[in-house]
A and B are shown apart, each in its own frame.
Chain A
Amino acid sequence: QQQVKQSPQSLIVQKGGISIINCAYENTAFDYFPWYQQFPGKGPALLIAIRPDVSEKKEGRFTISFNKSAKQFSLHIMDSQPGDSATYFCAASLWMDSSYKLIFGSGTRLLVRP
């Protein structure tokens, strides 16, 4: 119930295309859904996040769509660029053992071809 399932495992997109990464969860106690971006050899860094009372959040070319009833959320990267090539992790925040924890998805490796 504490899992966050992420797909696809890898994704190849042409420059200018749309990249879509999907995540699903079961535990309705999750109350915050961030996406982290990780470049090779670096640590993950927060990219964009959404609260469950909002259905969509957009920051530049990055958009999170959130479907509370389906318990699914997705990251859309519009006009994908080679510089977007990275691993993307969805996550969900949960109050557990007297503190908030982040439960991460398994990651999606995105390659944007020139």
Chain B
Amino acid sequence: NAGVTQTPKFRVLKTGQSMTLLCAQDMNHEYMYWYRQDPGMGLRLIHYSVGEGTTAKGEVPDGYNVSRLKKQNFLLGLESAAPSQTSVYFCASGLLAGHTDTQYFGPGTRLTVL
């Protein structure tokens, strides 16, 4: 099993450009999450999904959109990139919504917006 994979690994964008980050998991997990990681700020939840066809806002959703058309995929879109969106983005998945559920993280996408 590949676990959680993310595409691409690195990307440089110019301000105003758009892009989509792809997350895929092969563990049949219901829950999927997008986080951003910034120095000194830990991991902050952008959007999440509790199942195929559902999405919800997290702590820092502004400037991002998501879609979960298939259970195994969770896409994060930036419609008009801004320098403040320079960050490392992590996708995670989990089997259940239980409070003891482990979240499994992908390797991350490092995004730079110039």
Contacts and interface: CB of A to CB of B under 8 A. Distances in A.
Interface residues of B, number: 26
Residue among B31, B98, B105 with the most chain A CB within 10 A? B105
A13 to B, nearest CB: 20
A101 B58 contact: yes
A34 B41 CA distance: 17
Contacts of A43: 4, 90, 92, 105-108
Interface of A: 6, 9, 31-32, 34, 36, 41-46, 49, 51, 89, 93, 95, 97-102, 104-107
21 contacts: A32-B99, A42-B108, A43-B4, A43-B90, A43-B92, A43-B106, A43-B107, A43-B108, A44-B90, A45-B104, A45-B105, A46-B103, A99-B48, A99-B97, A100-B97, A100-B99, A100-B101, A104-B42, A106-B41, A106-B42, A107-B42
Interface of B: 4, 31, 40-45, 48, 50, 56, 58, 90, 92, 97-108
Given A42-B107, A98-B50, A99-B50, 19 more contacts: A31-B99, A32-B99, A34-B102, A41-B107, A41-B108, A43-B4, A43-B90, A43-B106, A43-B107, A45-B104, A45-B105, A95-B99, A97-B56, A99-B48, A100-B98, A100-B101, A104-B43, A106-B40, A106-B42
